[in-house]
Amino acid sequence: MTNETEKPEFWESSFLEKQEMWGFEPAKSALLTKDLFLRENVKQVLIPGIGYGRNAQIFRDNGMEVTGIEISATAIEMARKHYGPGMTIYHGSVCDMPFDNKRYDGIFCYALIHLLDADQRQKLIRDCYAQLAENGCMVFTMITKDAQTYGKGTLISKDRYELHPGVQMYFYDREAVQAEFGDFGLFEITEVNENFPFFIVKCRKKYS
Ligand SMILES: C[S@@+](CC[C@H](N)C(=O)[O-])C[C@H]1O[C@@H](n2cnc3c(N)ncnc32)[C@H](O)[C@@H]1O
């Protein structure tokens, strides 16, 4: 079940209209995360908000099995067309996680969390951490307050703006990352430019 803030129709119409709107090259942070996952000997990767799969293939090319979650049926069809049937992709909202009872040793969530409201962001972090295998790593990327768009559009709540109809974004600073991820094995915050300034946030699941 989705609610107003999850905007399935926004993403569906975006993919219908703009198709492979980010091209086929993986994002810089996907390449950096692939190196981390290789060092960590990750085998099973979960990608919430997988889109049409451009960030998935780099993990598969390096021997990892990828499972995705995606709200747009059109994006899932595009992923199948370009990358074949070899990936399980659950059609639904990350707000309805978990979709399976697997444990993943790597989770990569690119440019999705900043689209959610505060409760949804916290639930996503908690649900991802719950699906992480012991000693597994989860990596999130998100827009920062250094973006030129920060403060533009309609203020929805603190640091959250509606930039275009249907796109609400929460802009992070390091304190916000610490507040949201601090209890979930946060061990590193770095910065990367992906057309917009992004943080790369890394967490590791501690042995219980
Ligand atoms: C900014 S895009 C990033 C896409 C992709 N990771 C990439 O760059 O190739 C966000 C993606 O998350 C999907 N998405 C947005 N809200 C979602 C939700 N609540 N649950 C699952 N997927 C969602 C969108 O359809 C889109 O594919």
The reported pLDDT for the residue numbered 190 is 98
**Which domain covers residue 101, as residue numbers?**
4-143+171-204
- Residue with CA closest to ligand 1 atom 7: 51
Q: Is residue 106 part of a domain?
A: yes
Q: Is residue 159 part of a domain?
A: no
Q: Is residue 130 part of a domain?
A: yes
Pick the atom of ligand 1 nearest to 2's CA.
19
Tokens of 8: 């399935």
Q: How far is the CA of 135 from the centre of ligand 1 (A)?
A: 26
User: Does the pLDDT at position 3 exceed 60?
Assistant: no
- Residue with CA closest to ligand 1 atom 4: 51
Overall pTM surpassing 0.85 (yes/no): yes
The reported pLDDT for the residue numbered 1 is 42
- Residue with CA closest to ligand 1 atom 27: 51
pLDDT tens-place string over residues 123-157: 999 999 999 999 999 999 999 999 999 999 999 99
Q: Is residue 184 part of a domain?
A: yes
Q: How many folded domains does the chain comprise?
A: 1
Judge whether 205 and 129 are in contact, CB under 8 Å.
Answer: yes
The reported pLDDT for the residue numbered 14 is 87
Q: Is residue 157 part of a domain?
A: no
Average pLDDT of the residues in 41-64: 97
pLDDT tens-place string over residues 64-94: 999 999 999 999 999 999 999 999 999 999 9
CATH number of the domain residue 78 falls in: 3.40.50.150
Pick the atom of ligand 1 nearest to 50's CA.
6
Q: Is residue 154 part of a domain?
A: no
Q: Is residue 160 part of a domain?
A: no
Is 127 close to ligand 1, i.e. is its CB under 6 Å away? no
Q: Is residue 150 part of a domain?
A: no
Is 22 close to ligand 1, i.e. is its CB under 6 Å away? yes
Pick the atom of ligand 1 nearest to 14's CA.
25
